[in-house]
Amino acid sequence: MSEARPAALGEASEAAERQNQFIAANLRRIFLQILRIVGDTEDAQDLTQEVFIKALQRSEQLRDIEKAAHWLSRIATNAAIDFLRRQGRMSFSALDDLPHELAVTGDDSPEQNVLRAEQCSVLQGGLRRLSQRERLALVLRDVEGLPAEEVARHMNCSKATVRSHIANARIKFKR
Amino acid sequence: MKHLDEQTLALYAGGDLGVFSSLAVRWHLAGCGRCGQIVAALKEARESLAGSAGLLPADLDWEAMQAEMSANIRLGLAAGRIVETQPNPAVMAGWRTAAALASVTVLIAGGVYLHRPGPRRISRETPAALADASRGILVQASSAGIHLRENGRAMTLVGLANAPATLAVDTGGSARARYIDEETGEVTIHHVYAPSQNE
């Protein structure tokens, strides 16, 4: 008994440490992934927390870190799209409100900041030209890297429709 | 020279064309500078989108948000563990109610028992009978229920299935069966009085 208890405490501590590492390694990526889909910082924050809690409650999934990160991305995408459906807006309209400038850290040089600001401006300007469904298709395909079949499944439409959305979105985004 | 439509080029730029269509586009691009420039622009836009997408909004205090989210996640996980280890409140409430009901029933039954003529026999899960031969009345209690027979006529108050019964008869002319539902703890008492001589 006296030996079993410290052993159990050690395992719990190790599991907690694994969870913390998993959170630290994936939090920013998942937050941004959700933010790109839902378009609102507070919604993205809430959904990110929900996604991590849901994922970490099934700790057996964390054994393979690489698979777990991929699995987490899928949960995040589904959660974000479900959220839009629940809100009755399969929409990216809130993305228009995203700031044009980029986060600046103390380590960035002025040149880097300018470059990143330009990149963000391009991103926002390009996304504004797209319809809601074109935006979703483009983000899922070209940012999340999902295959067209999976994008179609997420958007509840045919692969041909998704290809059309993706093509139109790329053309408009390029201009 | 006839140029390819921009939709086809856009799909080609992202690798979304089939094998044969891709080969056809590649063949065309080998001899068409204009379409080649469009494909290059599409690929560049695609790369810039992917590259910019990882950038945080400028007005976001990521350090603070990261700390807040991490704390909330840990809190949510801890709350989940507590909920998992707590017994189901509905079940707890059910057992508490059942225990309270059972206690009250025992008190009431005890009071009734003390204020009635003493039973001659109390048995559990065994048939019990009271006969009044002079009037042809028979009151019988068994785990199946309470049976009343008089001059060839009979009726049965059927007992509760799958509920253990405590049976009692007394010389005052009544039979009693007490059932306890094993799942809910609910107590049901059937008490049948034989008609008195005045009735």
Q: What is the ipTM of this complex?
A: 0.70
Q: Which of A20-34, A117-131, A137-151, B119-133 has the lowest mean pLDDT?
A: B119-133
Q: Mutate which of B55, B59, B75, B85 to disrupt the A interface (most A C-beta within 10 Å)? A: B55
Residue at token pair 């330009």: A118
pLDDT of A43 higher than 80: yes
pLDDT of B69 higher than 70: yes
Q: How far apart are CA A66 and CA A14, in angstroms?
A: 19
Dump pLDDT digits (tens) for A93-144: 334 444 333 344 445 566 666 666 666 666 767 777 888 788 889 989 998 8
The pLDDT, as a whole number, for residue B22 is 94
- In a 13 Å sphere around the CA of B89, the CA atoms on its Cβ side amount to 2
Q: How far apart are CA A44 and CA A87, in angstroms?
A: 13
pLDDT of A11 higher than 80: no
Q: Kind and range of the H or E element at B64?
A: helix B62-85
Are residues A45 and B51, on separate chains, in Cβ contact within 8 Å? no
Cβ within 8 Å of residue A154, ≥6 positions away: A77, A78, A81, A136, A140, A146
Are residues B53 and A139, on separate chains, in Cβ contact within 8 Å? yes
Average pLDDT over chain A reads: 78
- Chain A: nearest CA to B9, how far in angstroms? 8
Q: Which of A17-26, B113-122, B149-158 has the lowest mean pLDDT?
A: B113-122
Share of chain A above pLDDT 70, in %: 71
The pLDDT, as a whole number, for residue A33 is 87
Share of chain A above pLDDT 90, in %: 25
CA triple B13-B19-B22, angle to 5 deg: 35
Q: How far apart are CA B188 and CA A143, in angstroms?
A: 67
pTM assigned to the model: 0.55
Q: Would you state the structure tokens that stand for residue A27, as one six-digit string?
A: 């939090």
State mean pLDDT over A147-167. 92
**Using a CB-CB distance cutoff of 8 angstroms, which residues of chain A are in contact with residue B76?**
49, 53
State mean pLDDT over B113-119. 56
Are residues A142 and B62, on separate chains, in Cβ contact within 8 Å? no
